[in-house]
Amino acid sequence: MHIWIDDKLSLRTVTVEDAEAVFAITEASRSTLREWLPWLDMTTKEEHTRNYIESCITGFNEKKCLSTVIIFNGKTVGIAGFNYINHANETVYIGYWLSNDVQGHGIMTTTVQALCQYAFEELQFNKVEIRAAVGNIKSRAIPERLGFVKEGTIRSAEWLYDHFVDHVVYGMLANEWKKTQ
C-alpha cells in the first residue's frame, strides 16, 4: 500500500528493506524517542528493527495492524500506522513517531489525518483512537489539532523503563470525521 499525501509526503507499508533506514533514524533520535517510547533499550541493532518489521508484516498479512514508513522528500523520517485493528468493533488504534530533524513542520499531523481518512473512507471503520502519555505534549497536540475528543485518562497505562505513565485517550468517530472534512 502506498498513500501519496502530497508531492513531498507519502506513507508506504513498511518492508524488510526499510530496516537500515528505520534503524538509522531510531539511532539519530534515540534520546528524544526514549522519553516516551518503551522499546528503545531493546532496539540496539539493525537486526532488532528487522525483527520488528517482520512482525509488522505478519500482523498486516493477518489484518491485525498496519505499519507504514513516513517518507518526506524521498527520505524515510518515521513510522505511523494502526498498532491494532479491531475488526469486531470497527476501531483502529493509531501510533506514530518521527525523527528529530523533521519535527515541527506538520508532517505527523498530516500523516495522522491521512491515516484517519484511510480508516474511515477505505476501511469504513467507526472509530479511530489515539493514546499518548499525559506528559507527551507534542504527541497529544496531534489529535487535539485534528478535533479528536478527549475521552479520558488511563492511570498507570504503560511502564516506561522505571516508572508508570498515565495515558490520555482521544477518539474520533466516523460521523464526527465527516463533519470536519
Between 25-34, 73-82, 136-145, the lowest mean confidence (pLDDT) is in 25-34
Q: In the chain, what percentage of residues exceed pLDDT 90?
A: 93
The reported pLDDT for the residue numbered 181 is: 79
The reported pLDDT for the residue numbered 55 is: 96
The reported pLDDT for the residue numbered 1 is: 85
Please provide the average confidence, as pLDDT, over all residues in the chain: 95
The reported pLDDT for the residue numbered 149 is: 98
Q: Is the dihedral of CA 100, 168, 114, 24 positive or negative?
A: positive
Asked whether residue 174 carries a pLDDT value surpassing 90, the answer given is yes
Asked whether residue 112 carries a pLDDT value surpassing 90, the answer given is yes
pTM value is: 0.94
Domains detected in the chain: 2-127 (3.40.630.30)
Specify the long-range contacts of residues 36-43, CB closer than 8 Å, at least 24 apart. 36/132, 36/133, 36/136, 36/139, 36/160, 37/97, 38/158, 38/159, 38/160, 38/161, 41/161
Q: How far apart are CA 119 and CA 98, in angstroms?
A: 21
Query: At 162, is the secondary structure helix, strand, or coil?
Result: coil
What amino acid occupies position 5? I
The residue-averaged pLDDT of 9-21 equals: 97
**pLDDT tens, residue by residue, 22-60:** 999 999 999 999 989 999 899 999 999 999 999 999 999
Which positions ≥6 away from 145 have C-beta within 8 Å?
109
